[in-house]
Chain A
Amino acid sequence: MEPTTAPTKPQFSPAAQAEIKRLLTHYPEDRSKSALLPILHIAQAEFGGWVSPEVQDLVAETLKIKPIEVYEVATFYTQYNLKPVGKHVLEICRTGPCMLRGSDELTEHLERITGAKVGGTSPDGTFTLKEVECLAACGFAPIVQVREKYYEQLDTPEAVDAMLNELKSLVHRPILPWEETGLPNSLKNY
C-alpha cells in the first residue's frame, strides 16, 4: 500500500538533496529563497503528491527561512496540493478554449468513469480530479495534465480510455531524478 499521508518527520532522499544543492547554485548566495518554488515541486513529488505542513516545515528548514514564508507561497500557487491526493491527479483544463472543445463533457465523463467528483478522490484512491485554468495548449483541447504529462485532444471516450489505461499501468515513483516523461503528441508531430 502507498502511504496516503506524509510521515511526521519527513526527510528528503539523497537524490532530492543533490537536486536541491544543484538548484541553489542558480541564485546569488544571499538569495537562496529564490529556490523555494522549485524545491516545493521536488517536495511534492517526493512526499506523495502533496505538501503537508510537516513537509512545508522541512522546506523552510532546508532554505533557512521562516515557515510562514513557505506557507504563504504554498497556498498561493495552485499546483501545490495542500491535502492528500490519489495516486493520479487529473488536472482538467476548464478555461474558454478547452470549454469550446468539450471540457465540460470531458469532466462529466471523467467523474462518471473514475467515481471521483471534481475536488475529490475516487473511492479506491486511484484518481483525484482537479479543475485547473488554462494549460496553454489550447489548440489541442480538451486537455488533462497528470504530473508532468499533458494528455491532449480528449474529445472521444477512446482517447480518455487510452489515458486512463496508460496511467493504471504506471508504477508510482517520485519524479526525481529527472524523469523522461512522454511528450504530448502535439510536440512530437508539429
Chain B
Amino acid sequence: MGRKLLTEHINVEGIETFDVYRKHGGYRSVEKALKTMTPDEVVEEVKKSGLRGRGGAGFPTGMKWSFLAKPEGVPRYLVCNADESEPGTFKDRQLMSKLPHLLIEGMITGSYALGARTSYIYIRGELLYVLRILEKAIAEAYAAGFLGENILGSGYSLDLHVHPGAGAYICGEETALLESLEGKRGNPRNKPPFPAVQGLYARPTVVNNVETIAAVVPIVNEGGDEYAKLGVGKSTGTKLISACGHLNKPGIYEIELGVPVEEFIYSDEYCGGIWKGRDLKAVVAGGSSVPILPKELILKTAAGENRLMTYESLSDGGFITGTMLGSGGFIAMDETTCIVKNTWNFSRFYHHESCGQCSPCREGTGWLEKVLHRLEHGHGSMHDIDLIVSVAKQIEGNTICPLGEAAAWPVAAAVRHFRHEFEWHVTNPKEATAPGAAYRGAPVLA
C-alpha cells in the first residue's frame, strides 16, 4: 500500500470544515511558505519535486511556473482548472467536495509563489453543488485569516474566487478557459503569446489542474526532494486515478506512481478485477483522448515488460503499441464491448464539443462521427475504415488547440489494434449489429 499525500484524511468526519482540516495538519504549507520561504524558494521546491501537470499533459509544473512573466506593477494570476470533463476522469470533483480546504491551501501557497494577488478557481458549471462547498470553505479561510489582507501578518494579501462554466469540454483547454472566465465563448486562443505572458485579462497567468495545485501542499510541507522519492524515475509522487467502466470496484484511487497496471486492475486493494467474471478486452488508460490498448498491450509492453502506472511506462512503444497516463481517467472494457460503437461514441463527443473555430476539427470530427455511425450500424464499406484513418490524420496537428489530436488519436488507435472488428462490421453486418454482438477475434498487437 503506497503513501497517500492528498487523500490521507478524506474519510475523516467533517474534514470539509476548516476546523477539522486544520486539526489534521491543514494550512501548514501556508504558514511555512509565508513565514519562512521566499516565493522563489517555493517555486524551487516544486521544481525539485518533479511534479507534472495532473490535468493530462504532464508538463513539469515547476518549469511552467518559472515561465511566468513578472513585469513590474502588472497584476498576475493563478487560475485553477477545475473544468474536469475528459471522459473517464472524475477525480477533481471528489477532491474538491471532500477536501475543499486542500485546494484552497494549495491556491494560497501557489499564489504566493507566483506573486498573484487575485486567483480564480474555474469549475465546470455542472458542479454548482461543488462550487457552493468551495465558497463555504473559502469564507471559512477568510474568517481564519488565511485569505484576504495581510495573511498571517506576512504582508501578503490574496483574494480567491470560484467561477462556474456552463457546459463546454473545450473550456478545459487553458486559453479557452481564460476566454470563458472573461465572459466569452470558449474559443481557444492562438499561441504565442502563451498565458504565462498574456493570460487572463492579457496579464501573465498560470493555469493548473486541481490535483496539481493540491500536490503543492505536501511538496511544500515535506520538501520537493522528499516528494520526488515517491514514484519511479520522472513519474514522481502520487496520482489520483479515476477508474470506471467494467470494473468490480470503480472509483478514485490515490496511487504511488509505479504500481503495475495488472495489480491496479485485478488486486482487491484497487479495482478488484473485471465485473461479472468476464475477461478484459481493452483499456483507455488516461481519459478518452489517449490511444486505446488491447488487454495484451495494457498489461505488458510490446517488449514483454510489465506495464506500470507511470508516464513513461504507459507511453512505452509510442502510439504504435503504447498510450499515455493522461488525466488518469482509466476506462476498462470487458470482452462484450463493441470497439466500433465505443469509438463512434467518443467521436460523437468530440464533434459535439468542437468549438468550431478551425475547419479541420469542425468538419473532421463531423466526418468521423458520421462514418463511424454507418460502420457501427452495418452500412459501412472497407474504404470507410481507411477514410476515418485518413480524416484523423488530417485533423491532427492542424488545429489551434489539442482537441483535434484528442479526437484523432482514439480513432487511429482503435483501427490500428481492432481493424478486424471494423472489417467484421463491413463483412458481417447482420451479425455485428445484432443486440449484444461482440467480436471475439484477436487484436493487432504490433
Contact = CB atoms under 8 A, between A and B. Distances in A.
Interface of A: 26, 28, 31, 33-38, 40-41, 63, 65, 69, 72-73, 76-80, 94-97, 99-101, 132-141, 145, 148-150, 175, 178, 180-181, 183, 186-187, 190
A148 B132 CA distance: 11
Contacts of B353: 133
5 contacts: A33-B182, A133-B352, A134-B86, A136-B84, A136-B124
Interface string B233-246: 00000000011111
Contacts of A133: 85, 87, 169, 349, 352-353
A96 B330 CA distance: 12
B331 A96 contact: yes
B88 A77 contact: no
B90 A139 contact: yes
Given A37-B165, A41-B128, A139-B244, A99 B182 contact: no
| Max count, chain B CB within 10 A of own CB: residue among A132, A133, A137, A150 | A133
Contact of B250 (A80, A140, A145): A140
Interface residues of B, number: 61
B185 A73 contact: yes
A63 to B, nearest CB: 8
B444 interface: no
A180 B329 CA distance: 29
A69 B184 CA distance: 8
A76 B354 CA distance: 11
A80 B166 contact: yes
| Max count, chain B CB within 10 A of own CB: residue among A28, A95, A132 | A95
B17 to A, nearest CB: 15
A9 to B, nearest CB: 24
A181 B127 CA distance: 12
B129 A181 contact: yes
A138 B94 contact: no
Contacts of A95: 87, 288, 345-346, 349
A73 B167 contact: no
A154 to B, nearest CB: 15
Nearest to B120: A26
A134 B182 contact: no
B71 interface: no
A101 B243 CA distance: 13
Interface of B: 10-11, 84-90, 92-94, 97-98, 120, 124-129, 132, 135, 161, 163-169, 180-186, 201, 242-246, 250-252, 284, 288, 329, 331, 333, 337, 341-342, 345-346, 349, 352-353, 355
A190 B94 CA distance: 8
Nearest to B334: A100
B242 A138 contact: yes
A94 B128 CA distance: 20
B186 A96 contact: no
Contact of A33 (B92, B161, B169, B183): B183
Contacts of B341: 99
Given A79-B166, A135-B126, A138-B242, 16 more contacts: A34-B181, A36-B183, A41-B164, A69-B184, A77-B125, A77-B168, A97-B88, A99-B345, A100-B331, A100-B342, A134-B349, A138-B329, A139-B244, A141-B250, A178-B132, A178-B135
A96 to B, nearest CB: 5
Given A73-B183, A76-B185, A101 B166 contact: no
B251 A96 contact: no
B183 A99 contact: no
| Max count, chain B CB within 10 A of own CB: residue among A101, A138, A187 | A138
Given A37-B166, A97-B245, A138-B89, A183 B183 contact: no
B315 to A, nearest CB: 21
B143 to A, nearest CB: 16
A100 B288 CA distance: 13
Nearest to B185: A76
B150 to A, nearest CB: 19
Contact of A79 (B97, B167, B284): B167
A181 B89 CA distance: 23
B182 A31 contact: yes
